[in-house]
Chain A
Amino acid sequence: MDVIEIISCPRGISISCDGTKCTCLDFADGCRGKTPLIVTVGGNGSFHYYLRLPQSDGCIVFDQTVTISLVEPGASAEIYGLLSGAGSSSISISISLLHYADNTNSSCNIGSIGDGCCSISITSKIAVGSGTKNCSSSMQINNLRLSPQCQVRATPILDTATADCSCSHGATVGDLDRDQLFYLRSRGLDSAAAKITLRGAFEEKILRNFPKASSCNG
C-alpha cells in the first residue's frame, strides 16, 4: 500500500505528492457531482487538503463529503476550507477525520461566508478508535452571515473511544461585528468598504494557511 491512498476523488481536484506528503488543492465550483473524497493515510504520511469555494451569484449546489482515515502510526492530516455562498446557493460539506492508529494528528479549520438566501451546512466529525494512544485532533468551524436570509447549520461531532487522546472542536455562527464596523466607519471607511475589509480579514485567517502560490488564485 502507498503511504497515502486516494480511494475516491471528485473530478477537478489537483493532488500532488512528494514522498510521504500529499497536497490536495480543491478550487471547487458548483458543477460537481457527489463523488466523495476518501483518503487513507499510512505510517508517517501527511495529507493536506485545501478547499476553496468562491462566491458565485448563481444557484450553486455544492455537496461534498470528505473522509480521511489515519490508519498507521505517525499519520497526519490537515484541512483548510473557505466556502462562500450567495444568491440561493446550497452548500453542504461533511468532513470526517478518523483516527485508527497511535500517534496520529489532525486539524481542520473551515470558514464559511453566507450572503443572500443561501443555505450552508457543515458537518464535521473527529472519531478516535478504541485502544489508540496519543492522538490529537482539533477542529474549528467559523461561519459568517452577511445576510439575515442566509441559513447556517453547523454540526461538529467528537466521538472518542479512548482516554489517551487530546481532542477539541469549536464552532461559531455570527454576523459582522457591529463594533468593528463602527470603528472602521469612524476611521473614514463607508459602510460597504468596512464590510469588505472585515470580510477580507475573516477570509485571511483561513487563506494564510493555503500554499503560497494558490491562495491568491481564488
Chain B
Amino acid sequence: MGADGGSCDSGDGTGAEWDFSCETDYAYDAGYGLSEETVRYISSIKDEPEWLLQFRLNSLKQFEKIDMPHWAPLKKSDINYGEIRYYLAREQLPRKNWDDVPAAVRETFDRLGVPENERKFLAGVEAQFDSEMAYANLREELTSQGVLFVSSSDGLRDHGEIFRQYFATLVPPGDNTFAALNGAAFSGGSFIYVPPGVHVAQPLQAYFRINAEQFGQFERTLIVVGENAELTYLEGCTAPRFESTTLHAAVVEVIALQGAKVQYITVQNWSDNVYNLVTKRAKAMAGAEIRWIDCNIGSALTMKYPALILAGERARGEVLSISVAKGKQRQDTGARAIHICPNSSSQLISKSLSIDGGSTTFRGQILTAANAHECRCHSRCDAMLIGENAQSQTLPKIDCRGRNCTIEHEASLSKISDEQLFYLRSRGMGESQALSLMVNGFFNDLIREFPMEYGVELKRLIEMEMDDAKGHGQWM
C-alpha cells in the first residue's frame, strides 16, 4: 500500500513494462453508463460554463443519433456503453512537481520512464491518469515566451478567449459517433498555444495512461500554433491488460496558422483489450506545414484516420503511418488530405505489418476542391504479411476536381523474401534474428522520421511484437 492509499501489481506476467495497474482511490467517479446525469456530473465537478454544458448535452444527443459508417469494422452495438465508467479522477488539478504527485500515480509514470524522458530531452510534459492530468509542467523559458501547455480544463478556464475560438471547429460533435461521444464526456487532454514567431525547439509530450478497468478515456487535445511558430508534440499511451473492454475515444484538433510548422507524433501501445477510436484533424493555413506521424502497435481495434485540411495557399501536409497487427488485432488506419486552396501539397505514406491473423487496413482519401489548382499529392502504402491468415486491405479514394493537380497513389504488398532470408541465414543469423532485421528494414525509412529516442523505442516495440508472435511458433 502506498503512502496515499495506492499500490501497483506487476500485470499478468508477460513482462511488458506497461502491463501493470495501480490500485488507487478515486475521489470523483461518474459511475457506470452514459446519461444526461453523467454529463451534468462531469460538467459540474469541472465547474464549466453553461455553453460548455450545452455543448456536452448536444453531443450526447448526437451520439444517440449517429450510427457508425457502413464500412466500419465495428458496429455501434459492439460496445456495451452501460458497462463503462466515463469519469474517474483522484483530483482535479495537475501537479507541477513529480514529488507532489500521489505515490501510486508517480510510480506508474516512473515505470513508464516519463520523468526520465522529461529530464533528458523534453521541453514540457503532461501526464494523464484516467480522466485527469496528474502532472503538467513546462520549462520556464517557454512560459516566459507565452507558450501555453495546460490541460484542456485549464485552457478553457484560464485562456477561454483562445480556447473557445478554435474548440470543436475542426471536429464538431456531429462529425462521427465517437466525436459525439467525446464531446459529451471529454476530460483531460492538452491545450497548447504557441505565440507567433516562437520556435519550441524541444518536443512537448503528453502521456495518457488508463489504469482502471471498464473505463473510457476521452481526452480532447487542442493545439494552436501562431504565425511562423514551430512545435513538435509527442503523445504516448498505454494501459494494463484487463479481461473487460476499455474504450479510448479521443479528439485532436491542430490549427497551424500562416507559416507555422507542427509535427504531431503518436506512439500508440494500448493493451489488446482497448478499443482505440480516435478522430484527428489538422488545418494548415497559408504556407503552414503539418506533419502527423502515427504509430499504432497496440489495441484490439484502432480506427484512426488523421486528416489534413490544407486551407491556405502553399500549405503542406504529411501523414506518416506505421501499423502492426498480430493475432486478433485489427489496425484500421489511414489518412486524409483535403486540398481546398491552390498550390497546396501533401504526402501520405503508410507501412503496415500483419502477423498471424492480424489485420491492417489503410483507408485513404485525397480530395482536391474545384478551386484548388496546382495541388500535388503523393500517397504510398506498403504492407507486409507474415504467417497464416494475416490480412491487409488498401482502400484509397482519389477525387480530383481542381485544375492542374497531380495526384499519385501506389501500394504494394509483399511477404518476407525467401532469398533475403536465406542470405541472412547464410551469414550466420538465426531465423528469428533474420526476420526481425528484415522487418526493421521494412519500417526503417519511416522510423528515421521519429526523434531518435522514440525511433529506438519504436524499433524495440516492433521487435517485442515479433518476439511475442514468434513465441507462439505459428509462422516459424
Query: In the complex, what residues of A have CB within 8 A of residue B411's CB?
Result: 156, 158, 168-170
User: Does B406 touch A at the CB level, under 8 Å?
Assistant: yes
The answer to whether B394 and A172 touch across the interface, beta carbons within 8 angstroms, is no
The answer to whether B409 and A130 touch across the interface, beta carbons within 8 angstroms, is no
The answer to whether A166 and B415 touch across the interface, beta carbons within 8 angstroms, is yes
Contacting residue for B413 out of A145, A148, A168, A174, CB 8 A: A168
User: Does more than half of chain A's interface fall in helix, strand or loop, or is it mixed?
Assistant: strand
Cβ distance A131 to chain B, nearest Cβ, rounded Å? 8
Query: In the complex, what residues of A have CB within 8 A of residue B408's CB?
Result: 170-172, 174
Determine the distance from Cα of A178 to Cα of B385 in the docked complex, in whole angstroms.
40
Which 3 residue pairs of A and B lie closest in terms of their CB atoms, listed nearest first? A148-B403, A163-B385, A158-B394
User: Does B387 touch A at the CB level, under 8 Å?
Assistant: yes
Interface readout for B256-290 with A: 1 if CB under 8 Å, 0 if not? Answer: 00000000000000000000000000000000000
The answer to whether A169 and B402 touch across the interface, beta carbons within 8 angstroms, is no
Contacting residue for A173 out of B370, B387, B406, CB 8 A: B406
User: Does A153 touch B at the CB level, under 8 Å?
Assistant: yes
The answer to whether B409 and A171 touch across the interface, beta carbons within 8 angstroms, is yes
Determine the distance from Cα of A41 to Cα of B349 in the docked complex, in whole angstroms.
35
Contacting residue for A162 out of B385, B395, B412, CB 8 A: B385
The answer to whether B404 and A178 touch across the interface, beta carbons within 8 angstroms, is yes
Given contacts A166-B413, A169-B410, contact A151 B385 (CB under 8 A): no
Interface residues of B in 408-460 (CB under 8 A from A): 408-416
User: Does A184 touch B at the CB level, under 8 Å?
Assistant: no
30 CB contacts below 8 A, A to B, read: A131-B388, A148-B370, A155-B396, A156-B394, A156-B411, A158-B393, A159-B394, A160-B385, A160-B393, A162-B385, A162-B389, A163-B388, A163-B390, A164-B415, A165-B413, A165-B415, A166-B413, A166-B414, A168-B412, A169-B409, A169-B410, A171-B409, A172-B406, A172-B408, A173-B400, A174-B405, A174-B406, A174-B408, A175-B406, A178-B404
Query: In the complex, what residues of B have CB within 8 A of residue A163's CB?
Result: 354, 385-388, 390, 415-416
Interface centre among A148, A163, A167 (most CB of B within 10 A): A163
User: Does B399 touch A at the CB level, under 8 Å?
Assistant: yes
Cβ distance B353 to chain A, nearest Cβ, rounded Å? 11
Known: A172-B408, A173-B407, A175-B405. 16 other contacts (CB 8 A): A130-B389, A151-B401, A152-B399, A156-B394, A157-B393, A160-B413, A162-B390, A163-B354, A163-B386, A166-B414, A168-B410, A168-B412, A170-B410, A171-B396, A171-B410, A175-B404
Cβ distance A98 to chain B, nearest Cβ, rounded Å? 14
Determine the distance from Cα of A160 to Cα of B352 in the docked complex, in whole angstroms.
13
The answer to whether B398 and A160 touch across the interface, beta carbons within 8 angstroms, is no
B-side residues, CB < 8 A to A, are 354, 370, 373, 383, 385-416
Cβ distance A43 to chain B, nearest Cβ, rounded Å? 24
The answer to whether B409 and A161 touch across the interface, beta carbons within 8 angstroms, is no
Contacting residue for B393 out of A131, A159, A166, A174, CB 8 A: A159
Cβ distance B390 to chain A, nearest Cβ, rounded Å? 5
Given contacts A143-B400, A173-B407, A174-B405, contact A157 B395 (CB under 8 A): yes
Determine the distance from Cα of A104 to Cα of B329 in the docked complex, in whole angstroms.
29
Interface residues of A in 145-202 (CB under 8 A from B): 145, 148, 151-175, 178
Query: In the complex, what residues of B have CB within 8 A of residue A164's CB?
Result: 415
Cβ distance A151 to chain B, nearest Cβ, rounded Å? 5
The answer to whether A151 and B400 touch across the interface, beta carbons within 8 angstroms, is yes
User: How many A residues touch B, CB cutoff 8 Å?
Assistant: 31
Cβ distance B417 to chain A, nearest Cβ, rounded Å? 10
Cβ distance B463 to chain A, nearest Cβ, rounded Å? 19
Q: Which residue of B lies closest to A114 (CB)?
A: B400
Query: In the complex, what residues of A have CB within 8 A of residue B404's CB?
Result: 148, 175, 178
Query: In the complex, what residues of B have CB within 8 A of residue A145's CB?
Result: 400
Contacting residue for B407 out of A157, A160, A172, CB 8 A: A172
Cβ distance B325 to chain A, nearest Cβ, rounded Å? 13
The answer to whether A154 and B398 touch across the interface, beta carbons within 8 angstroms, is yes
Query: In the complex, what residues of B have CB within 8 A of residue A171's CB?
Result: 396, 398, 407-410
Query: In the complex, what residues of B have CB within 8 A of residue A151's CB?
Result: 399-401
Given contacts A161-B389, A171-B396, contact A148 B402 (CB under 8 A): yes
The answer to whether B405 and A173 touch across the interface, beta carbons within 8 angstroms, is yes
Contacting residue for A174 out of B370, B373, B394, B407, CB 8 A: B407
The answer to whether A167 and B396 touch across the interface, beta carbons within 8 angstroms, is no
Determine the distance from Cα of A130 to Cα of B385 in the docked complex, in whole angstroms.
12
The answer to whether A169 and B405 touch across the interface, beta carbons within 8 angstroms, is no
Q: Which residue of A lies closest to B381 (CB)?
A: A158
Query: In the complex, what residues of A have CB within 8 A of residue B415's CB?
Result: 163-166
The answer to whether A155 and B397 touch across the interface, beta carbons within 8 angstroms, is yes
Determine the distance from Cα of A193 to Cα of B383 in the docked complex, in whole angstroms.
43
Contacting residue for A153 out of B385, B388, B393, B398, CB 8 A: B398
Cβ distance A6 to chain B, nearest Cβ, rounded Å? 29
